[in-house]
Structure formats: structure tokens, C-alpha cells
């Protein structure tokens, strides 16, 4: 026995086709963060005005100590092309820079 197929596809209702950012309900911002030290989390305050910190980022050692191998807490690193190649996109929306990756591995190995 063959299952009958629906030949007339009905489109989804209009309210389900809209993107989250275009809906009338505004997104609720996260109240606290627990992934970065507080000084770095301040970089997010342009978007999340009342973003606070979880207690663990104010107490645990990995959030209190300096980054080994770097002079400053926030630091840009200029890495020239590695083996003749800089940043590239092997898959859509997935960027890679092997030179930067090799540089950071070396910083933490020293």
C-alpha cells in the first residue's frame, strides 16, 4: 500500500517565517556572564547595558591571573600570511587563519 502524498503544500503562517530580530517581541539580554574576566566583559556593554558577572569570574584564579605570554590584557596580534596564505573560508561562514593558530599555540608552549 502506498501512502498518498499531499500535492498542495500550504505555506507556513506569516508569523512563523519572520526572523527573531524582526519580530515585535524584543530579545531579553543575558543578566550575567561567566566566560570572560570582568574587564573583557566590559567590551560587551555597548550591546548589553546591564550585563553583570557571575561570582565565579570574580573568584576563580583563571579569571584573575594575567594571560601568559602577553603584555596586556587585551592585545591585537598581527600575523603575516602563513605558508603564503592568510585568512580563508574552507566552508561557508567558517573562517580559518592557520598562521594565527600556530602563533597562539607557540605562545602557550613557551
The whole-angstrom distance between residue 1's C-alpha and the CA centroid of its chain comes to 50
- Could you tell me which of 56, 51, 50, 49 has the C-alpha nearest to residue 34? 56
pLDDT in tens, the chain (110 residues): 555 555 566 666 666 555 555 556 666 778 888 888 888 888 888 888 888 999 998 899 888 887 777 778 877 878 889 999 999 999 999 999 999 999 888 888 86
Q: Structural domain boundaries of the chain?
A: 32-65, 68-110
> d(Cα 25, Cα 35) in Å, to the nearest integer?
27
- pLDDT value of position 15: 60
Contact 29, 51 (CB under 8 A): yes
- pLDDT value of position 74: 79
- pLDDT value of position 109: 83
Q: Does the predicted TM-score (pTM) go above 0.85?
A: no
Question: Residues 45, 48, 50, 54: is their CA dihedral positive or negative?
Answer: negative
Amino acid at each position: 500500500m502506498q501512502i498518498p502524498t499531499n500535492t498542495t503544500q500550504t505555506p507556513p503562517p506569516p508569523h512563523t517565517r519572520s526572523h527573531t530580530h524582526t519580530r515585535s517581541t524584543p530579545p531579553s539580554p543575558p543578566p550575567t556572564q561567566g566566560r570572560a574576566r570582568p574587564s573583557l566583559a566590559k567590551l560587551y556593554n555597548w550591546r548589553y547595558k546591564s550585563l553583570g558577572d557571575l561570582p565565579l569570574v570574580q573568584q576563580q584564579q583563571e579569571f584573575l591571573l594575567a594571560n601568559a605570554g602577553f603584555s596586556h590584557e587585551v592585545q591585537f596580534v598581527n600575523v603575516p600570511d602563513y605558508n603564503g596564505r592568510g585568512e580563508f573560508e574552507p566552508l561557508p561562514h567558517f573562517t580559518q587563519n592557520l598562521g594565527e593558530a600556530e602563533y597562539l599555540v607557540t605562545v602557550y608552549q613557551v
